[in-house]
């Protein structure tokens, strides 16, 4: 009864594929049993819409007359600096970049009202932005100054490239200290008066394919409202963490690097975000189709919020100082109920990842598959999984002494 | 009985006059101060919930208005932009009155103007600038 991706694609082409979302499959598995459900369902669609700081985009803006070599010079877009260490008119923009004039946290807590994430959103929305460049001038690229309005459609290439996205599970953040703290997990009230989490849980892509059997290099996905691809594992991909009996990582584990042309994406699915006291980031919408190759895949996709657990971590002391010691393990069903219990205390919980938008993405992807306009891909290479012994290494600091030029062995 | 949530803007010259006292004693209005910002020589601002008979409420507000107090309904000063909200739910755990509320079944966020007391706690919480307070 096992199916292949080619067989499923044939059904998609003929408009005959049975597609359901990762939410719908839970009920189908319950009412029909896994075996029957696996025979009937061809694809399960997933989704997530949450902030991810390791997002960025690269651009080629075309050559000016006379030519200018932005490489090695300085370039800002709406005052947000970009990285120019490339050829003449290529550069990379990071989601967390902020204008040099932003006070950052010198006026604490900083507002971070505009940065790389917002710029990506503005460009995708079709807005004009200001490009201001200074270059050193060469014989072949004589120009030293460039100031112009530019928009996405004027550029040759504009490509979203996220070196890490789609985190498979994540921490639940609390604050044990007696002062308010501002983190990438939001504003955390003193004495554990709130808890924040950031995962779409049962709808989240990698929680529906916990061992990366079907998601790998080259997988075609919904990215930012358009079509994108998985490039490989994301940075900090850490598949060897402890897992539940069903194989679900109990904490942050796998990640994906993804890419896709910004020109076909939409501002609804790429949103700049300002985290008070922390910085700017980009909320990215991702949806991944999971082929139901066999009963095992069906069981993986039928995972529920009650099956997925996360670790509660103190962001006042344990996280910043990188010390171990999780306060509790809670399920997404508890987190979504509005409160969790940590050390006997009831703590209100709230999300940072939009479950409503995750559901919408899974629905959109489902409609693409049903229309036959989106075909599944066989991964060119699968990602390293739980048996890989990949380690998540902390930085080992080695002091540089006495102006030495060669590291001591 | 009528109830109104209002923003009372006091010009600097009124700062030493007990306007709220008069609203309570002369017009028998129940005045619940939700938020206050009073600085000498500057415009003062009170966010209040005022309760009383319709007649007293109207004449009390007319009295304040004649003195030079600018009166605006609270709703005009708080805006929740649905299109900016991504429904992450971060604000819902912090909102003290449940004005920003979450339907758990659907995980949908909505805003109820009538419950908002303009405490401003949601402002630094929302990464998407979905709530704005105009003062």
CA distances A212 to A1, A315, A385, B116, Å, are 21, 30, 7, 46
CB–CB of B87 and A356 under 8 A?
Answer: yes
Kindly provide the b/e burial profile for residues A139-176, where b requires at least 16 CB atoms within 10 angstroms of the residue's own CB.
Answer: eebebeebeeebebeebeebbbbbbbbbbbbbbbbbbb
What is the tens place of the pLDDT at every residue in A15-54? 999 999 999 999 999 999 999 999 999 999 999 999 999 9
Q: What percent of chain A has pLDDT over 70?
A: 99
A135 in contact with B, Cβ within 8 Å: no
What is the tens place of the pLDDT at every residue in A75-124? 999 999 999 999 999 999 999 999 999 999 999 999 999 999 999 999 99
User: Phi then psi for A181, rounded to 5 degrees?
Assistant: -125, 150
What is the tens place of the pLDDT at every residue in B66-85? 999 999 888 767 899 999 99
Looking at residue A206, the DSSP 8-state letter turns out to be: G
CA distances A72 to A56, A88, A98, A133, A159, Å, are 19, 9, 19, 11, 21
Interface of A with B in 265-284 (CB under 8 A): 271, 273-277, 281, 283
A198 is catalytic: no
Beta strand A56-60 with B70-73 is unpaired
CB–CB of B90 and A186 under 8 A?
Answer: yes
Confidence of residue B135 (pLDDT cuts 50, 70, 90): low
Q: Which residues on neighbouring strands pair with residue A354, listed in sequence order? A: none
Among candidates A67, A68, A117, which has minimal Cα distance to A278?
A117
B119 in contact with A, Cβ within 8 Å: no
Per-residue pLDDT of chain A (409 residues; tens, 9 = 90+): 699 999 999 999 999 999 999 999 999 999 999 999 999 999 999 999 999 999 999 999 999 999 999 999 999 999 999 999 999 999 999 999 999 999 999 999 999 999 999 999 999 999 999 999 999 999 999 999 999 999 999 999 999 999 999 999 999 999 999 999 999 999 999 999 999 999 999 999 999 999 999 999 999 999 999 999 999 999 999 999 999 999 999 999 999 999 999 999 999 999 999 999 999 999 999 999 999 999 999 999 999 999 999 999 999 999 999 998 899 999 999 999 999 999 999 999 999 999 999 999 999 999 999 999 999 999 999 999 999 999 899 999 998 887 777 887 6
What is the tens place of the pLDDT at every residue in A213-240? 999 999 999 999 999 999 999 999 999 9
Measured between alpha carbons, how far is A380 from A230 in angstroms, rounded to an integer? 10
Beta strand A157-165 with A145-150 is unpaired
What is the tens place of the pLDDT at every residue in B52-68? 999 999 999 999 999 99
Spatial contact of A130 and A20, defined as CB atoms under 8 Å apart: no
Chosen for mutation from B83, B93, B102, B106 (greatest number of chain A CBs closer than 10 Å) is B93
* A and B: number of Cβ contacts within 8 A: 70
Among candidates A293, A294, A298, A324, which has minimal Cα distance to A311?
A324
Name which of B90, B108, B124 is nearest A351 (Cβ-Cβ).
B90
């Amino acid at each position: 009864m096992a199916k292949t991706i080619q067989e499923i694609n044939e059904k998609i082409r003929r408009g005959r594929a049975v597609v359901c979302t990762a939410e719908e499959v839970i009920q189908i598995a319950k009412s029909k049993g896994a075996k029957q459900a696996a025979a009937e369902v061809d694809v399960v669609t997933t989704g997530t819409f949450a902030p991810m700081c390791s997002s960025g985009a690269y651009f080629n803006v075309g050559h000016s007359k006379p030519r200018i070599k932005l490489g090695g010079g300085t370039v800002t877009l709406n005052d947000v600096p970009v990285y120019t260490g490339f050829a003449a008119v290529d550069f990379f923009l990071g989601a967390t970049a902020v204008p040099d004039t932003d006070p950052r946290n010198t006026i604490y807590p900083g507002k971070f009202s505009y940065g790389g994430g917002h710029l990506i959103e503005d460009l995708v929305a079709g807005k004009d932005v200001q490009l201001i460049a200074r270059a050193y001038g060469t014989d072949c690229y004589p120009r030293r100054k460039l100031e112009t309005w530019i928009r996405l459609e004027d550029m040759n290439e504009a490509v979203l490239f996220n070196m890490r996205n789609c985190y498979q599970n994540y921490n639940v953040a609390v604050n044990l200290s007696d002062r308010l703290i501002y983190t990438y997990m939001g504003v955390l009230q003193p004495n554990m008066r709130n808890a924040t989490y950031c995962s779409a849980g049962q709808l989240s892509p990698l929680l529906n394919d916990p061992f990366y059997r079907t998601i790998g290099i080259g997988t075609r996905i919904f990215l930012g409202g358009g079509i994108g691809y998985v490039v490989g594992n994301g940075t900090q991909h850490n598949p060897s963490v402890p897992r539940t009996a069903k194989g679900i990582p109990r904490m942050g584990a796998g990640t994906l690097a993804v890419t896709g042309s910004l020109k076909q994406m939409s501002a609804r699915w790429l949103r700049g975000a300002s985290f008070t006291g922390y910085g700017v980031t980009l909320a990215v919408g991702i949806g991944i189709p999971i082929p139901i190759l066999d009963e095992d895949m069906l069981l993986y996709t039928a995972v529920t919020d009650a099956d997925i657990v996360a670790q509660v971590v103190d962001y006042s002391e344990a996280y910043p100082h990188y010390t171990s010691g999780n306060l509790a393990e809670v399920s997404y069903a508890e987190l979504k109920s509005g409160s969790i219990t940590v050390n006997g205390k009831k703590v209100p919980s709230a999300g940072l990842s939009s479950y409503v938008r995750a559901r919408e993405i899974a629905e959109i992807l489902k409609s693409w598959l049903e229309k036959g306009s989106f075909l599944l891909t066989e991964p060119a290479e699968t990602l390293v999984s739980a048996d890989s012994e990949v380690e998540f290494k902390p930085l080992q600091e080695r002091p540089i002494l006495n102006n030495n030029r060669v590291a001591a062995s | 009985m009528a109830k109104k949530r209002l923003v009372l803007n006091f010009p600097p010259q009124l700062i030493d006059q007990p306007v709220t006292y008069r609203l309570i004693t002369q017009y028998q209005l129940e005045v619940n101060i939700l938020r206050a910002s009073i600085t000498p020589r500057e415009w003062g601002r009170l966010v209040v919930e005022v309760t009383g008979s319709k007649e007293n409420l109207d004449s009390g507000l007319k009295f304040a208005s004649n003195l030079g107090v600018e009166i605006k309904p609270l709703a005009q000063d708080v805006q929740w932009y649905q299109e900016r909200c991504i429904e992450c739910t971060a604000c819902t755990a912090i909102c003290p009155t449940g004005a920003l509320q979450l339907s758990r079944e659907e995980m949908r966020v909505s805003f109820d103007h009538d419950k908002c007391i303009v405490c401003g706690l949601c402002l630094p919480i929302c990464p998407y600038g979905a709530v704005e307070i105009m003062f």
